[in-house]
Chains A and B, each alone.
Chain A
Amino acid sequence: MSFLNESILTLILLAPLAGAVLVALLPDRGKLPAWVALLTTLVTFVLTLHLPAHFVLAQHGFQFEINTLWIENPAIYYHVGVDGLSLWLVVLVGLLAPIGIVASWNAIERRRKIFYSLFLVQQTAMLGVFLSLDLILYYGFWELSLVPMAVLIAMFGRKDGARAALKFFLFTFIPSAPLLVAILWLYARTGTFDFSELQMLIASGGLPAGPLCWVAVAFLFAFAVKVPVFPLHGWLADTYSEAPVALAMVVAGKLGLYSMLRFHIGLFPVQARALAPWLIALAVIGLLYGACLALVQRDFWRLLAFASLSHLSLIVLGIYGLTFTGWDGAIYQILNHGVVDGALFLLLGILEVRYATSQIASYGGLAARLPQTATLFVITSLAMIGLPMLNGFVGEFLILSSTFTGVSRGWAATATIGVILGAAYMLWLVQRIFYGPQSDLATSRPARDLHAAELAVLWPLAVLMLVMGLAPSIWIPAIENRTGPPTVKGTAALSSPALTVAVLKEAANESRR
């Protein structure tokens, strides 16, 4: 068992890669690539489940660490490890991968071999981002994650894939140029790329403050585009409406948000503090702006894109509120967003495959014909809105309450308006697609409700949403055991971690009444 603990992270990284090679070598016959890919992702998922099963709550710092020299000069290490911040995110990536395969099962009809092998490479890249603790290793996976994504968008785009792919690629690639310069600057001054060492060296204050401020801005800029944060979201809508479902569900959010928490706030707490008011303002603007635009979209992929902008902005608000409770809420909400968005993408993808359009106006009255789809869609929408007892509520509550008490009542109140708008566009979407008179489109096609594989994926997700809403205490203790930024003098707003549990208990009582 100790051998497994020592090499589990390498196995997690290699499993999808091995699957990708296997898919590439096997013949492109029928559904063979899809089966191999499904098997690979399931194995990877089981491997990721090893982490929470053997995660020691009492032990502080990174666990399952591997730290071996990769390149001598400059000293680059293969340094991987997990803490509470990345633990569940790794499991989330593992969980979403088989769901992505199921979503592509019927949607991808040609060039399956290329699709599935690139999809698996993408898995390795994303897992690598969450696991890496060496900045160059991290940067490598960060960049690598762009390539399969962009190629697949170009190849399988709905209308003009190449343009959307180029937009996506350049939007994320160009900001990573300053990021690399910043990393190299840190190396030139400190001689290390190691996360923990850099964290201590920066905290000890040996580096010149002026350039360090710019370095922090470069880090933040790269991450903010990837999330995306308000004025940098230009790529999101095109990517959502062009990308294959399996990839669109992982493209936004968690990579950027995780990186903000780990590498921006984690490395540069002082600089992050200085920038926090700006980011809070941008987050609230993005929250409202995304919600307003989502209200007027006619295409459900674009609606989902702006809804995501709105939800991700809420998480950014939680992160840059710089309170422990806010961070717990933010991490929890990243998980929620992954699960809920995954289910929503899967459902909308199913509708698009069946009815060959993403125009909301063409739909109507589907509930009578596809009752199972409608039920699951409503559950997912309610989870997204943040109905108590479902998972969205816990994250939103933690973020908003911490903003209210720890940051500013005004921002919290404004953000709440955005959350209310969120309910409006989601419920309106449900109403336009599933209720009302049956449209021509609905009656013209044979009603095929969800088949077994889809049900086998969607119901567990729905149950997961409920469990995450009722018993967040399964996840929260591990999340709280993270290597936060070294405590900085004068950060009065940081409340104690135990507070989150108290707040949650109160909230649970509230919702039961």
Chain B
Amino acid sequence: MNPGDSLRILPEIVLTLTGVLIMLVDASLPPRAPRRTLGWVAALGVTLSLWASLWQLSLPVGTAFYSTVETSPFTVFFHVLICGIVLVVLLLSLDTLPEDSHHQGEYYALIVFGAVGMCLLTSAIELLVIFIALEISSISTYILAGYRKGSGRGPEAALKYFLLGSFATGFLLYGIAMAFGASGTTQIYELAQLLPASPNHLLVTAAMALMLVGILFKVSAAPFHVWTPDVYEGAPSPVVALMSTAPKAAAFALLLRIIYEVFPTLRQEWAPLLWCVAVLSMTVGNLAALRQQNVKRMLGYSSIAHAGYLLAALAGLGASGIAAASFYTAAYAAMNVGIFAVITLVSGYDDERTLIADYRGLIYRAPVLGILLIFFLTSLVGIPFTAGFFGKFYAFAAAMGGNANWLALIGLLNSGLAAAYYLRLAFVSVQAPPEETRQRLALPRVGVAVAAALLFTVGATFLLGVVPTRALQAVETGAHTLQVPSAEPAPAAVSAATQQVP
């Protein structure tokens, strides 16, 4: 280990220090003291970590700590994305958490610690480090999901998420054990070289399948999705904004790393599997969402469908699939955090207005929120000149490039189906409200923090839809660096295998 190694995990170090600082200050403050400032400290720490990630671009691509973590444009992209999401969620929470809650300190600390796990997950290249990072991120999310202890649904959500989540992590761990059994190592680059040569093909395939199950659970792809709507319904809205985007972005980064770095030679085995999961996710998610009356449950199912669109990108060949999937995570994060910000403001921390019918006349009662709601819904539908369109466009363009024409057609028809429920909500919000409720909505105080959060999400959704060039360059550079260095991945074999996509 050399002293420069710590620079490779600088964002994680900054985040950890911030989290520890918040916990210490929180413990030393008197019980009744206001703790809102801690949120600003957290936001500052995350911003610093974001800068640290960007600074890492100036480091040469390479590994540290005995080849357990890596810095490359790929990891930087996901670091920036995760820190961005966490920053917006912190800003959103600052103004919407109840003032008197003396658990505020823990809340901010948990979010920051979660961010440590997610960031580490994207840069780790050693399966055990990956597992630990995943646990750090998951455990803080489990607690955050149950943060409204009083409501009954909160603990239910947390418990469900925890039980199913631990089960899925068990799958991942078992997969890791099998990979170790087949090769004698858990380092990804070494695995990439040893596994194709392993005589026990069945063991390798089983390892891959089990690891995929664990990761697909984290991204809430069907048929591992059942926890999603319940957890979304029970968790506080700002937490849903976080957990529907940031841990998923990290898990998708892991998925890309596993399938493109560890198992590129098994493409003819994982490609049909992911094809089925993608189709199943979008169809199940959209059909179930059509019937929901609760807005958060509806968006829960919609996030399952979006996981399906994203998996469709992986049918793309080589770098195009990675780039499209990375771009989609960013686009989805921008619009989904945005819509949950609007929902948080409309329904409050305690979820006073949860049904679609409660949104009737929103545009009359809170015009700006109404317009933002429609804007984010438009983006989720995938209308051009918003992030959602280019996300879908690149995902399905990549799929078509990989000759998966049917997948693209099914996906786009599905997004047509999805328009039905997104627009139901949009159209309810523009209808004139009944006379007795025509007064303005009593909104939570919209402060600088929430305004900044909304501005960030609107700006990101709009810019990714109109001038996506910079983001595209970032994902493409990232995609090209997601490869095993100096190994001979036998390009001919890979491209031959990739032709097998159904």
Contacts and interface: CB of A to CB of B under 8 A. Distances in A.
Interface SS of B by simple majority: helix
Contacts of A73: 472, 476
B401 interface: yes
> B374, B415, B430, B431: which has the most chain A beta carbons within 10 Å?
B430
A155 B430 contact: yes
Interface string A177-195: 1101100110110000000
A187 B468 contact: no
A146 interface: yes
A169 B419 contact: yes
Interface in A69-84: 71-74
B412 A180 contact: yes
Contacts of B401: 188
B182 interface: no
Interface string B418-455: 01100110111011000000000000000000000000
A147 interface: yes
B389 interface: yes
Contacts of B378: 147
A114 B384 CA distance: 20
A184 B324 CA distance: 14
Interface string A139-157: 1110110110011001100
A139 B384 contact: yes
A161 B430 CA distance: 10
B383 interface: yes
A140 B384 contact: yes
Contacts of B381: 173
B383 A174 contact: no
A173 B416 contact: yes
Given A154-B427, A162-B428, A184-B396, A144 B469 contact: no
Contact of A71 (B384, B400, B430, B469): B469
Given A170-B416, A188-B401, A181 B408 contact: yes
A226 to B, nearest CB: 14
B424 A166 contact: yes
A114 B469 CA distance: 31
Interface SS of A by simple majority: helix
Contacts of A136: 393
Contact of A154 (B416, B430, B473): B430
Interface string B465-476: 000110011001
Interface in B349-403: 363-364, 367, 371, 374, 378, 381, 383-385, 389, 393, 396-397, 400-401
Nearest to A178: B409
Contact of A151 (B413, B417, B430): B430
Contact of B396 (A143, A154, A180): A180
A415 interface: no
Interface in A469-509: none
A165 interface: yes
Contact of B468 (A71, A114, A174, A176): A71
Contacts of A173: 381, 416, 419
Contacts of B389: 140, 143
B481 interface: no
A183 B363 CA distance: 36
Given A166-B423, A169-B423, A170-B420, A151 B405 contact: no
Given A154-B431, A177-B415, 16 more contacts: A72-B469, A73-B472, A111-B364, A143-B384, A151-B374, A151-B426, A155-B363, A161-B431, A162-B431, A165-B427, A166-B423, A176-B416, A177-B416, A178-B412, A180-B396, A187-B397
Interface of A: 71-74, 111, 114, 136, 139-141, 143-144, 146-147, 150-151, 154-155, 161-162, 165-166, 169-170, 173-174, 176-178, 180-181, 184-185, 187-188
21 contacts: A71-B468, A72-B472, A73-B472, A73-B476, A74-B397, A114-B371, A139-B384, A141-B384, A143-B389, A162-B428, A166-B420, A170-B416, A170-B419, A170-B420, A173-B381, A174-B417, A177-B409, A177-B412, A177-B416, A181-B405, A184-B408
- Report, nearest first, the 5 A-B pairs whose CB atoms are least far apart: A140-B384, A177-B412, A174-B416, A154-B427, A162-B427
